[in-house]
Structure 1
Amino acid sequence: MLSSTQLATMLALQDAMNTKVNPQWLSAGYSYLRAALIESVEAIDHHGWKWWKAQNCDLAQVQMELVDIWHFALSHIIIAHDGDIPKAAKEIEVELQHLNPIIVFDGVTFDVSTNTLVENLELMAGLCVVKRFDMPLFVTIVEQAQMTPTMLFEQYVGKNILNFFRQDHGYKEGSYNKVWQGREDNEHLVEIMAQTNSTTQDYADVLYKALEKRYLAK
């Protein structure tokens, strides 16, 4: 289960990134669950669902889509709590402590604990259409995709920090070079993450500073 510190870190990072894109993002009317809907469908595609052709499940890509969905879900939750990060964190923490596998949608009762991964992704997409995000469902999907809470946290923070780093070093202006010391920046990030304890309270700052140190030494 995600800790209160991890939740607070991710919510703060999401708020900061959204603010960087648009300082008025809370009132901009962006449909974050529409974005989560699209990512859910893409996850289904990466898993494979076509019965008329041979397909291989690309679990790594499914996991990446789940990290993207989590970005949009956190944004939706922050808006629902009027930008109050501590309140949003507490609400998620309470939901994680009382995971109910039963969902009633369109008059039909679903037990997410008995659904397949694809069925649950499909259900999440349907809920997103009507602007619902179900925490127990998402947690179940994450587990079915063979991700631990720590993996979700680390991948989320890593992707968020890399986006921040790129923006801060000229990505939007076109002056940022993603390749330094002969490797792409995401490769540097993976190596740094492997060497960093994600339980530290300033995990995000540690990743950013380590990236910057390597970048400036290029």
Structure 2
Amino acid sequence: MDKILLMLQLQAQLNDATNGEEWTKGITKNSKVINWKRCIYMECAEMIDSFSWKHWKSIDKEADWDNLQIEVVDVWHFMMSLAIENYSINLKGGIEDLAINISNLESFSKIENENEFFGYQDDVIKKVESIMLASLSLQELDLEVYIEDFFALVTLSGLDLDTLYRLYVGKNILNQFRQDNGYKEGSYIKVWNGVEDNIIMKKIWEEHSDIKPEVLYKELTKLYISLNKR
């Protein structure tokens, strides 16, 4: 439960900083409407593009599992945000209550086990589309089933609680870095020497498994400064 609670807390802090402290009411500090479900199904579409699903193009292209895992983590950002908003609007409790309830889900015990195995491509896509379908539905969202589906996707994507946590923290730091370097204004450079910043962040984590979040931020800063000097 500790990792779930910490991720929820970090997400709430990121949303406070990015969207203002009223974001749980569905609007940003700039009066922009927030639609977490739309964020989720758009990320899911990008997730499917990790595979060579097109029957008319690049049919022999290998699946991009690194990108899939990054997209899974992106969905987790938005799913946690939606869950926190849901608990706030429906007076279900605070972040601690949400963390307890998530950790009591049957599928949570499955992601606690170490996992390095990927599911079959078709099974992954079906699970992604199941999440998309729930996101697009006009019926009241069953939050527990929604998160259960996501945890099943975590397992199919070769992730477990520890790797989900590490990638989430890494992406959380990257998101902070992006905001600090002009992401919202449109001046941030997302592709560094032909490699997307998501992948660079993931490689830093893989090469330095004990790196601290603040050190990761400094490493990203050094790389970004060197990129802009060229």
TM-score, L = length of structure 2: 0.68
Given the alignment, which residue of 194, 200, 208 partners 1:195?
208
User: C-alpha distance in 1, partners of 2:136/2:101?
Assistant: 22
Structure 1 gaps, min length 5? 101-114, 199-205
1:27 and 2:39 matched:
no
The 1:11–1:45 alpha-carbon spacing in structure 2 relative to 1, beyond 3 Å, is: same
SS in 2 for 1:81: helix
User: C-alpha distance in 1, partners of 2:132/2:215?
Assistant: 37
Structure 2 match to 1:163: 175
CA contact (8 A) 1:46 1:59 kept: yes
- How much has 1:211 moved relative to structure 2? 3.1
The 1:135–1:195 alpha-carbon spacing in structure 2 relative to 1, beyond 3 Å, is: same
CA contact (8 A) 1:49 1:118 kept: no
CA contact (8 A) 2:11 2:80 kept: yes
1:10 and 2:4 matched:
no
Computed over aligned residues only, the root mean square deviation of the Cα atoms, in angstroms, reads 3.5
Letter in 1 for 2:85: I
The 5 A counterparts of 1:36-51 are: 36-51=40-55
User: C-alpha distance in 2, partners of 1:155/1:208?
Assistant: 15
Letter in 1 for 2:14: M
Structure 1 match to 2:129: 122
The 1:79–1:147 alpha-carbon spacing in structure 2 relative to 1, beyond 3 Å, is: same
The 1:146–1:168 alpha-carbon spacing in structure 2 relative to 1, beyond 3 Å, is: same
User: C-alpha distance in 1, partners of 2:10/2:197?
Assistant: 20
User: C-alpha distance in 2, partners of 1:116/1:176?
Assistant: 35
1:90 and 2:120 matched:
no
Deviates more, 1:38-47 or 1:117-126: 38-47
Letter in 2 for 1:32: W
Structure 2 gaps, min length 5? 28-33, 111-121, 226-230
1:79 and 2:85 matched:
yes
- How much has 1:123 moved relative to structure 2? 0.9
- How much has 1:117 moved relative to structure 2? 1.2
Given the alignment, which residue of 163, 166, 173 partners 1:151?
163
CA contact (8 A) 1:33 1:128 kept: yes
CA contact (8 A) 1:17 1:164 kept: yes
Structure 2 match to 1:137: 149
The 1:50–1:212 alpha-carbon spacing in structure 2 relative to 1, beyond 3 Å, is: closer
User: C-alpha distance in 2, partners of 1:99/1:190?
Assistant: 27
CA contact (8 A) 1:99 1:136 kept: no
User: Quick one: percent identity of the two aligned structures?
Assistant: 31
CA contact (8 A) 2:40 2:132 kept: yes
TM-score, L = length of structure 1: 0.71
Letter in 2 for 1:8: L
- How much has 1:191 moved relative to structure 2? 3.0
- How much has 1:127 moved relative to structure 2? 0.7
CA contact (8 A) 1:165 1:208 kept: no
Letter in 2 for 1:195: H
SS in 2 for 1:47: coil
Structure 1 match to 2:228: none
